[in-house]
Every structure is written in structure tokens, then in C-alpha cells.
Chains A and B, each alone.
Chain A
């Protein structure tokens, strides 16, 4: 099983709607979870991290973590065209100083 899975295909949302992205991970000992945004042709940039179960909000972004079910999600409220990008889920491997990344989900916000 891959360490980090993001299975849904490209997501198209109308401007102003909520975009919802999901990610599952295999290592139950993982403690740190991250969401990166990557614009086409650019390097990833960190937008959210979460360590504890529950929700964490930062502006229009909310990360949700459920360690029992081993999933982490990202909600983008009031989606804007500038949110059109690929979103990468990453998990810090337990006992290790490296991140494992999912394959990413493309989000397209339609004006």
C-alpha cells in the first residue's frame, strides 16, 4: 500500500463554492500532516499543517485530521480562480526526517 494516497481525479468547482480534498495514509504512527499547493511549472508551497485530531482553520483553508481513520482533508471555502492548482498531501514518516507525498489533486475553479 502506498504511504499516502490521493485518489480523486481533477476537481472542478464554481467560484465561491467549497472545494474538498481527501488524503489517506498507511502509517498509523504518523504525527504530522501537510498540504502543499503547486501552481503549474512552479515548486510546491506549504499552505497548511496539522498535528492534532480535529479541524484547523487558516483563512479560507481548513485542514481536518482523523487519526483513527487515517485520513486528512483540506477544505477551501469561497474558492477563487487563484486557487486553481494541484494540491499535494504530505505525511511525515514516523521516526524519519522526510515527507511522503501523495500524487496530488488538481483543482480548477471556474469563474
Chain B
């Protein structure tokens, strides 16, 4: 059974804290994605990666960075969390040229207070 695992389902962090959201996939997929989802705004792409150590900005990269040191792991980093980053974060992965076969993690609910 294919799996994308987000290590933290629910987090509460303080403004200014550094936050790490971890995502691991066990399908040997080349592509990995981080989205955030907010009511009325749908899924918005933050960053994506086509391969190890490669990253591309999505639609809303400001305030975020990513790390992909190993193929199976894609980390989203909030350098200094702010209240407007309170959201649900979704990690996803897909094979290199088959983006239609995209698998989502269960989501990480982040609250910044």
C-alpha cells in the first residue's frame, strides 16, 4: 500500500518559532510537493522538488523554505512562524512524468499563536 506520511498531524507553535514539517514517501517517487489549504482558497502550491537537492518555488513560497536531502523525504521549514501561516499543510508525491498519479499525505494542521 502506497504511503505518504506526514510526521505531525497537529502542531501549535508560537510566533517567531522555527517550524519543521516532515514528509516521507515510500514509493520511490521523484516529485514531491508541499501545499497549504485554507478555507475558500483551495490548495496552493508552496514548493516542489523534482529530485534530490532540487527545489522549485510554487505560487506562495514567501516565508517558507524546503529541504530534500534524500529522495524519500521532503521537509517544509517556516523560518519564523507567523499567525498568517496557520493552515493545513499537505505533502504529496508523484512519479516523475505521471503527475496524474499523485498521492497525498494526511495533512498537518498548524496553528501559530
Of all chain B residues, which has the CB nearest A93?
Answer: B99
Q: Give a binary string over A37-60; 1 marks a CB under 8 Å from any B CB, 0 the rest.
A: 000011111100100000000000
Give CA–CA (A43, B96) in the complex, Å: 21
For chain A, what secondary structure do more than half of its interface residues adopt (helix, strand, loop), or is it mixed? Answer: loop
Q: CA separation between A54 and B42, bound complex, in Å? A: 26
State the interface size on chain A (CB cutoff 8 A).
20
Q: Who on chain B is nearest to A2 by CB? A: B42
The minimal Cβ–Cβ distance linking B73 to chain A, given in whole angstroms, is 18
Across the two chains, which residue of chain A brings its CB closest to B98? A97
Min CB distance, A41 to chain B, in Å?
Answer: 8
Q: Could you write out 8 A-B pairs with CB less than 8 Å apart?
A: A32-B100, A42-B106, A88-B42, A88-B43, A92-B100, A97-B50, A98-B31, A99-B102
